[in-house]
């Protein structure tokens, strides 16, 4: 059965060699996850890498081709219907009834989950207050903005007090303020012991998760806490130095830096440039070379790689690997190869 | 680790059905256009198609060539004219049979009458049967048939008149003009009498299939079905709750169109109204079953329309609505008897026109019931498989 605890904390979501194949395409390839109770797990990766498929398997909407998955200690592959009263699901696309009011949507889902009578009344009041949707109770769902629609969806996903909530790109259609509000809400849920499984494309959101998994082309490449990932030298590539410089004019400098023979990568960040060079190259050398080209550097500092840097490099490395695989006869399972190597 | 045994996924609960039913009703009411559409469309369809085909043959302009020109033949032509089926004005006379054929062929007239030169002699002396030629434009078969029937009727009536007047003593003798078969159940030869109950059945069939197939496909398209499937709702509850409002609507439409038939087209129901109601509900559930099966196959509403059409067109053509079943080749008959509409067509025509009831139509009712059960079970099973 599942390991009930890990490091003294209960496990809420556990998968073992989970595989899902659509025709000839492998959507999820031997996925192993162990997510602790009360965690916010950020599930990242490019589009089409298998994030939504994984969520659908964990919700019991899709059956896996092989492997096992447990949510709240229930074997999802065996009892997909049992798991449903323990989970909430917020799909990528708004999936409530646009022609019902906020209150009617909530009533409908409360009834379906059997949250009725006095308990239903109290619970509905609780979730309405929690997401703060009270002023919009009588609005039709289609009259709400993107942010409020997501809050309503969360409201309905929460009405039966689930242990685990799956959120598939919950902030995709939101403005920054609504995004931050939603995340504050997710934190308060997590602190109440609810486990959150969130997919996102936003790196700032990923950095707020308590643990992160990165899936690329159906394979889980890395997982761990965001800080651990950033530290993972073998992931980012050891022997790199990251420098941030502020200078004028920015775009001209960008092109000059890019032309320097030893520069791995350069990115514009607001008024600054992030430059990646081999560790043998000193900061002084870079500054000298820039000076020679007529650039005045106003300030400079060494920086840590961001989570985005980590994932961009991971993706690049894997694309390179894919291309190499196409030439050479491919080993069966790139993930195993990576783990063993 | 040990979970309380979850409620079984199958079976049916009142609360589940109620939740879905209530939601479905609210959504229906929120869409006033749909409500208006549901109520008025069947009535408008019935009235329009009913009026279009109930225009029975009257005052058909008739071209005449009378080689005889004596009183007996003039009497016959008067009979034609007075029947109100045919119009023979002074300008309608031509000199030769060839002219008649030419004019009918050109489409100027739909029908022509040719009276042979020895007509009067033959009728008066009864030496042999007088043969009046009817020249008929067969382009539109049903019109031609109608005209032929009318002509037969006129000739038969006239023959009786002639016989009474001239050969009273030889009453047992064969008719001097020829016989006509009397049409049963439709003495006025009104095609509408026969067709309107059929149109009613087709409208019910079409509306119910379309609305139910939309009901589930719409949720699939909007993504709301996926959200529903992560709740503990039972699939039977979901299907029944979604479909019940449409049974109600279907039945309401049925009553409305029957009312139009009775009061607008003056076709009364000769048989048992309550038997018709029960049979209609069974037929509506069968149509619902088809709609549900379509909805488990289709991903979008466009697909649902296409597939419905694919099923509805053979229903129109092969259910006995357009063509009679008897002369069909056996292989087509198999298709005909696989269509629920065929059975209901016989029921509604039987009850409305002939006044038959359960005693004659029990087999049709039984087959429809079987089909309804089969289709509903099949759709639920299919749906479950897709979700699991």
Are residue A36 and residue A159 in the same domain, yes or no? yes
Are residue A89 and residue A214 in the same domain, yes or no? yes
Instruction: Please report residues of B whose CB lies closer than 8 A to that of A60.
Output: 230
Distance of CA B76 to the CA centre of its chain: 36
- pLDDT digit string (tens) for B88-141? 888 889 988 888 888 887 778 888 888 888 888 877 776 667 778 888 776 666
- Looking at residue B257, the DSSP 8-state letter turns out to be H
- pLDDT digit string (tens) for B178-214? 433 333 334 444 555 677 888 889 988 988 898 888 8
Instruction: Please report residues of A whose CB lies closer than 8 A to that of B230.
Output: 59-61, 84, 87-89
Cα dihedral sign for B261, B262, B267, B273?
positive
B144 or A40, which is more confident: A40
Q: Is A64 on the interface with B (CB under 8 A)?
A: no
Q: How confident is the model over B71-76, as a mean pLDDT?
A: 86
CB-nearest partner of B15 from A79, A109, A111: A111
CB-nearest partner of A95 from B30, B31, B224: B224
What residues have CB less than 8 Å from B323, skipping those under 6 apart?
B317
Candidate ranges A243-252, B54-63, B148-157, B248-257; pick with highest mean pLDDT = B248-257
Assign residue A258 the CATH number of its domain. 3.30.70.100
Instruction: Please report residues of B whose CB lies closer than 8 A to that of A97.
Output: 23, 27, 224
Looking at A302, A317, A334, the residue that finishes a domain is A302
Residue A340 placed within a domain: no
CB distance A127 to A159 below 8 Å: yes
Q: What is the mean pLDDT of chain B?
A: 81
pLDDT at A221: 77
Q: Which residue of B has its CA nearest to A93?
A: B223
Beta bridge partners of B113: B64, B134
Mutate to test the interface with A, among B230, B238, B387 (most CBs of A within 10 A): B230
pLDDT tops 50 at residue B7: no
Q: Cα(B179)–Cα(B194) distance, rounded to whole angstroms?
A: 24
Q: What percent of chain B has pLDDT over 90?
A: 15
CB-nearest partner of A100 from B1, B26, B226: B26
Question: What is the complex's ipTM, to 2 decimals?
Answer: 0.74
CB-nearest partner of B27 from A88, A97, A113: A97
pLDDT at A238: 59
pLDDT at B347: 93
Instruction: Please report residues of A whose CB lies closer than 8 A to that of B215.
Output: none
How far is A241 from chain B, CA to nearest CA, in Å? 47
How far is B33 from chain A, CA to nearest CA, in Å? 14
Q: Cα(B304)–Cα(B298) distance, rounded to whole angstroms?
A: 6
How far is B22 from chain A, CA to nearest CA, in Å? 9
In A, residues 105-164, which contact B (CB 8 Å cutoff)?
108-109, 111-114, 116, 140
Nearest CA-CA partner of B50 in B197, B150, B186: B197
Q: Is A1 on the interface with B (CB under 8 A)?
A: yes
How far is A112 from chain B, CA to nearest CA, in Å? 6
Looking at A197, A231, A265, the residue that finishes a domain is A231
Candidate ranges A308-312, B155-159, B168-172, B207-211; pick with highest mean pLDDT = B207-211
Looking at A302, A321, A336, the residue that finishes a domain is A302
- The domain segmentation of chain B, as residue ranges, is 14-53+190-387, 57-170
Phi, psi of A98 (to 5 degrees): -65, -30
Instruction: Please report residues of B whose CB lies closer than 8 A to that of A111.
Output: 15, 18-19
Are residue A296 and residue A163 in the same domain, yes or no? no
Instruction: Please report residues of B whose CB lies closer than 8 A to that of A99.
Output: 26-27, 30-31
Q: Which residue of A has its CA nearest to B32?
A: A99
Instruction: Please report residues of A whose CB lies closer than 8 A to that of B31.
Output: 99
* Residue contact B222–A95, C-beta within 8 A: yes
Nearest-Å Rg of the Cα atoms of chain B is 29
Q: Which residue of B has its CA nearest to A76?
A: B388
Number of residues that this document lists for chain A? 341
What tokens appear for B56 in the block?
């029975």
Q: Which residue of B has its CA nearest to A160?
A: B231
Residues A84, A86, A87: CA angle, nearest 5 degrees: 70
Q: Which domain holds residue A267?
A: 233-302
Are residue A115 and residue A60 in the same domain, yes or no? yes
Burial B46-62 (b: 16+ CB within 10 A, else e): bbebbeebeeebeebeb
Residue A10 placed within a domain: yes
* Residue contact A95–B16, C-beta within 8 A: no
Are residue A152 and residue A290 in the same domain, yes or no? no
* Residue contact B30–A82, C-beta within 8 A: no
CB-nearest partner of B223 from A91, A111, A116: A91
Are residue A174 and residue A260 in the same domain, yes or no? no
Residue A327 placed within a domain: no
Q: Cα(A243)–Cα(A241) distance, rounded to whole angstroms?
A: 7
Q: How confident is the model over B16-40, as a mean pLDDT?
A: 87
Q: Cα(B227)–Cα(A317) distance, rounded to whole angstroms?
A: 37
Taking the whole predicted model, whether its pTM rises above 0.90 is answered as no
CB-nearest partner of B30 from A99, A112, A116: A99
Are residue A282 and residue A174 in the same domain, yes or no? no
How far is A140 from chain B, CA to nearest CA, in Å? 10
Q: Which residue of A has its CA nearest to B24?
A: A100
Are residue A116 and residue A227 in the same domain, yes or no? yes
Q: Which residue of B has its CA nearest to A64?
A: B388
* Residue contact A89–B230, C-beta within 8 A: yes
CB distance A54 to A18 below 8 Å: yes
Measured distance between the N- and C-terminal CA atoms of chain B, rounded to whole angstroms: 23
* Residue contact B3–A104, C-beta within 8 A: no
Are residue A189 and residue A85 in the same domain, yes or no? yes
pLDDT at B290: 93
Q: Which fold has domain B57-170?
A: abc type-2 transporter like fold (3.40.1710)
Q: Render each residue's pLDDT in chain A as its tens digit; 341 residues.
A: 445 555 556 889 999 889 999 888 888 888 888 898 889 999 988 788 888 889 989 988 888 899 999 998 899 888 888 888 899 999 888 889 999 999 999 999 999 998 988 999 999 999 999 888 999 999 999 999 888 998 899 999 999 999 999 998 888 877 888 888 889 889 988 998 899 999 988 888 888 888 888 888 788 877 788 777 776 655 555 567 888 888 878 888 888 888 888 888 888 887 888 888 887 888 888 888 888 888 888 888 888 777 777 777 777 777 777 676 665 544 555 555 555 54
pLDDT tops 90 at residue B339: yes
Q: Which residue of B has its CA nearest to A79?
A: B6
Assign residue A183 the CATH number of its domain. 3.40.50.300
What tokens appear for A83 in the block?
């798991």
Q: Which residue of A has its CA nearest to B26?
A: A100
Residue A331 placed within a domain: no
How far is B232 from chain A, CA to nearest CA, in Å? 6
pLDDT at B375: 93
Instruction: Please report residues of A whose CB lies closer than 8 A to that of B222.
Output: 95, 98
Query: How many structural domains does chain A have?
Result: 2
Q: Cα(B303)–Cα(B289) distance, rounded to whole angstroms?
A: 17
């Amino acid at each position: 059965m599942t390991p009930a605890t890990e490091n003294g904390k209960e496990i809420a979501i556990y998968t073992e060699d989970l595989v899902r194949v659509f025709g000839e395409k492998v959507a999820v390839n031997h996925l192993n996850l162990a997510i602790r109770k009360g965690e916010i797990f950020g599930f990242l990766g490019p589009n089409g890498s298998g994030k939504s498929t994984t969520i659908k398997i964990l919700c019991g909407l899709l059956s896996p081709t092989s492997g096992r998955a447990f949510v709240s200690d229930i074997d999802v592959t065996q009892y997909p219907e049992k798991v449903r009263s323990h989970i909430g699901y917020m799909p990528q696309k708004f999936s409530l009834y646009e022609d019902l009011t906020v209150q009617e949507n909530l009533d409908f889902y409360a009834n379906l989950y059997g949250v009725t009578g006095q308990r239903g009344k109290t619970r509905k009041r609780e979730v309405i207050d929690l997401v703060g949707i009270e002023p919009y109770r009588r609005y039709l769902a289609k009259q709400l903005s993107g942010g409020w629609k997501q809050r309503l969806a969360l409201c309905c996903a929460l009405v039966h007090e689930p242990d685990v909530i799956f959120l598939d790109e919950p902030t995709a259609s939101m403005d920054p303020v609504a995004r931050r509000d939603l995340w504050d809400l997710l934190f308060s849920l997590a602190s109440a012991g609810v486990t959150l499984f969130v997919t996102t494309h936003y790196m700032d959101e990923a950095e707020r998760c308590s643990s992160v998994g990165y899936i690329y082309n159906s394979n889980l490449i890395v997982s761990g806490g965001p800080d651990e990932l950033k530290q993972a030298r073998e992931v980012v590539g050891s022997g790199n130095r990251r420098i941030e410089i502020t200078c004028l004019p920015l775009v001209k400098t960008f092109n000059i830096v890019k032309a320097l023979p030893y520069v791995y990568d350069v990115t514009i960040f607001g008024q600054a440039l992030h430059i990646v060079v081999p560790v043998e190259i000193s900061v002084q050398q870079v500054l000298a070379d820039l000076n020679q080209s007529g650039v005045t550097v106003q300030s400079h500092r060494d920086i840590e790689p961001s989570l985005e840097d980590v994932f961009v490099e991971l993706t690049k490395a894997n694309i390179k690997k894919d291309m190499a695989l196409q030439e050479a006869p491919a080993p069966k399972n790139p993930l195993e190869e990576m783990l063993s190597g | 680790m040990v979970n309380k045994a979850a409620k079984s996924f199958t079976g049916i609960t009142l609360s589940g059905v109620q939740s879905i039913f209530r939601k479905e009703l609210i959504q229906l009411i929120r869409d006033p256009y749909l409500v208006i559409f549901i109520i008025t469309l069947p009535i408008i369809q019935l009235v329009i198609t009913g009026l279009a085909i109930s225009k029975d043959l009257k005052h058909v302009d008739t071209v005449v060539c009378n080689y005889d020109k004596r009183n007996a033949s003039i009497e016959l032509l008067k009979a034609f004219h007075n029947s109100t089926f045919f119009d023979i004005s002074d300008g309608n006379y031509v000199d030769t049979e060839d002219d008649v054929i030419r004019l009918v062929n050109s489409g100027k007239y739909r029908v022509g009458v040719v009276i042979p030169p020895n007509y009067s002699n033959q009728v008066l002396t009864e030496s042999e049967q007088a043969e009046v030629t009817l020249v008929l434009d067969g382009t539109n078969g049903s019109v031609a048939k109608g005209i032929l029937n009318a002509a037969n009727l006129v000739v038969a009536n006239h023959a009786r008149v002639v016989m009474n007047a001239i050969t009273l003593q030889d009453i047992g003798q064969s008719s001097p003009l020829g016989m006509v078969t009397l049409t049963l159940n439709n003495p006025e030869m009104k095609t509408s009498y026969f067709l309107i109950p059929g149109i009613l059945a087709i409208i019910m069939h079409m509306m119910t299939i379309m609305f139910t197939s939309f009901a589930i496909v719409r949720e699939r398209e909007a993504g709301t079905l996926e959200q529903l499937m992560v709740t503990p709702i039972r699939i039977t509850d979901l299907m029944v709750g979604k479909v019940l409002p449409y049974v109600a609507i279907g039945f309401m439409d049925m009553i409305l169109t029957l009312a139009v038939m009775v009061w607008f087209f003056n076709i009364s129901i000769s048989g048992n109204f309550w038997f018709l109601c029960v049979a209609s509900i069974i037929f509506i559930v069968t149509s619902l079953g088809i709609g549900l099966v379509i909805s488990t196959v289709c991903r979008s509403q466009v697909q649902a329309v296409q597939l419905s059409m694919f099923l509805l067109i053979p229903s129109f053509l092969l259910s006995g609505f357009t063509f009679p079943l008897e002369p069909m080749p056996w292989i087509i008959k198999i298709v005909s008897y696989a269509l629920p509409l065929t059975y209901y067509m016989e029921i509604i025509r039987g009850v409305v026109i002939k006044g038959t009831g359960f005693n004659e139509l029990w087999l049709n009712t039984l087959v429809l019931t079987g089909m309804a059960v089969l289709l509903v079970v099949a759709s639920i099973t299919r749906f479950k498989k897709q979700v699991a």
